Amino acid sequence: ADYDLVIINGLVASAEDVIEADIAIKGDKIVSVTARGGLKDATATKTIDADGAYITPGGVDAHVHLQEPPLFGKGSSADTFETGSRSAICGGTTTIIVFAPQQKSEDTLLATLEATHAKANKVCYSDYSFHLLVANPSENALAEFPALRKAGISSLKIYMTYAALKLDDGQILDVLLAARENGITTMIHAENNDLILWMTAQLEKRKMFQPKYHATSHPAMAEIEATYRAICLSEFIDAPILLVHISSPAAAKHIKEAQDRGLPIHAETCPQYLFLTKDDLDKPGFEGAKCVCSPPPRESEVDHEGIWQGLENGTFTVLSSDHCPFLYDDNQTGKKSCIDEEYPDGHFKYIPNGCPGVETRLPLAMSAGRLKMTKFVEVTSTNAAKLYGLYPRKGAFVPGESDADLVIWYPEGKLEPFALKNKMLHHNVDYTPYEGKTLKQWPRYTILRGKVMWDRDDGGLVGKAGDGAFLHRGQSSLKGPLSTEPWDIRGF
């Protein structure tokens, strides 16, 4: 046969346009995208008729936590690389970039990288890479940045809060400078740590412990201040950053203003800041814990609207999940693992911060119908590929260059709207924050490097653990440092 797989009658959506086209695949790669009907004389081992449905590049989710020790409260990740990447594939995401967490007690990043490779090796359903999470930017750790680049890692994450992870501003400057020198993009979790601790103490004095007070303890002002501070530190070093999981439209304004001044400031938001509010933390009993994440879901629809606008106007480079999975009920004991004798009704500060969402990210965004298709593709796939050095292998349909990673959606009117249930999902978590939400779309097929991995109407998950591969990444192709000269103290 001429091709291994052809997909006909699709509406092929990229970040640039949507065209009626047929796609031909050979081995791992897309080999041609031709006007509809262009493949009618070709032979193929397998043909899929997309039936007029949208076809988008496989999702690239650049913010996924798997198999981490307790870093964000009482509880370890519920998903392994196997179960997390399985969940990704069933929701249309073909590439995940997962954190490789250095501990403060460790002086090396290369050992962290190696240990994380060992966890992911031969068990992933999706393709994958890692962001090094730098908790101890020691001289030794910084000296390893060139070796990280050689190992295919071009991004780091640092935190301005969390006792186990927080860097002070001097340490942040150290990381930014070394990252700039090595062509590395630094992701920053921006919340003011002292403001959070101070608010937590205020709440404790008043014996306010319920899950909903997590949101009170992490006010928007903590995010606004730290976001602006991170922008200042980035501008000072002339080093590109990505501000992760922005929830506050006022923080987004600082980012937009910096971008309008031409600075290499990139930003991310997540579905929880489009679909949840702080009222979701205020439920009977301990239920609200299911929506505890940091930053927390904000006040109201007005905030959602601000975040949607930030996606539409380009403030947000990417829409990632921040999939950070924890069990609600402990498997063994059936009890909430973050509840102990000291606070028998629970205390918000021990609830591990994070929501599962790697599988629901694309269906939620697609079902909302709010973004233009080209924008949907840009923020869920293409821009992540560009920022993290995977483009055009990922995030695009460039014949001869792009991997054959794609999602075929349902044709208009062919999927009855349905209520999401956690039991439909493929993660190892006992809840979804979106239980009962009406969805209008879901991936009908997910294809990874030419192989059908998810066939919703015929077999469901048909791919295998180990089908996913490690991706060696290059440098960002989005805006980098403004100057090509080395940073020099004599410039000040």
At 30, is the secondary structure helix, strand, or coil?
strand
Question: Least distance to Zn ion from the beta carbon of 301, Å?
Answer: 5
Q: Which partner in Zn ion, ligand DUC, none is near 304 (CB below 5 to 8 A by kind)?
A: Zn ion
Give the pairing of strands 451-455 and 460-461: antiparallel
Angstrom distance (rounded) from CA 249 to CA 303: 6
The answer to the question of residue 268 lying near Zn ion (CB under 5 A) is no
* Straight-line distance from the first to the last Cα atom of the chain, in angstroms, rounded to the nearest whole number: 65
Angstrom distance (rounded) from CA 235 to CA 180: 12
Q: Residues interacting with ligand DUC, by CB under 6 A?
A: 65, 72, 189, 293-294, 322, 324, 353-354
Q: Which partner in ligand DUC, Zn ion, none is near 11 (CB below 5 to 8 A by kind)?
A: none
Q: Are 473 and 109 in contact (CB under 8 A)?
A: no
Whole-angstrom CA distances from 37 to 21, 24, 49 are 8, 12, 12
Residue number with CB closer to Zn ion (26 or 189): 189
Residue number with CB closer to ligand DUC (32 or 360): 360
Q: Are 208 and 191 in contact (CB under 8 A)?
A: no
Residue number with CB closer to ligand DUC (4 or 268): 268
The answer to the question of residue 266 lying near Zn ion (CB under 5 A) is no
Residue number with CB closer to ligand DUC (226 or 371): 226
Residue from 304, 361, 394, 426 touching Zn ion (CB under 5 A): that is: 304
Residue number with CB closer to ligand DUC (57 or 325): 325
Q: Binding string to Zn ion for residues 187 to 206, with x set by CB under 5 A, is what?
A: --x-----------------
- Count Cβ atoms within 10 A of the Cβ of residue 345 and give its class: 0-12 exposed, 13-18 middle, 19 or more buried: exposed
Q: Restricting to residues 319-338, which ones interact with Zn ion according to CB under 5 A?
A: 322
Interface size with Zn ion, residues (CB under 5 A):
4
Q: Are 132 and 146 in contact (CB under 8 A)?
A: no
Q: Which partner in ligand DUC, Zn ion, none is near 72 (CB below 5 to 8 A by kind)?
A: ligand DUC
- Please work out, in degrees rounded to the nearest 5, the angle formed at the alpha carbon of residue 327 by the alpha carbons of 216 and 334: 110
Question: Least distance to ligand DUC from the beta carbon of 237, Å?
Answer: 23
Q: Are 396 and 16 in contact (CB under 8 A)?
A: no
Question: Least distance to Zn ion from the beta carbon of 62, Å?
Answer: 10
Question: Least distance to Zn ion from the beta carbon of 274, Å?
Answer: 6
| Non-local CB neighbours of 25 within 8 Å, separated by 6+ positions | 3, 4, 5, 6, 7, 31, 404, 447, 450
Residue number with CB closer to Zn ion (180 or 189): 189
| Positions that interact with Zn ion (CB under 5 A) | 189, 301, 304, 322
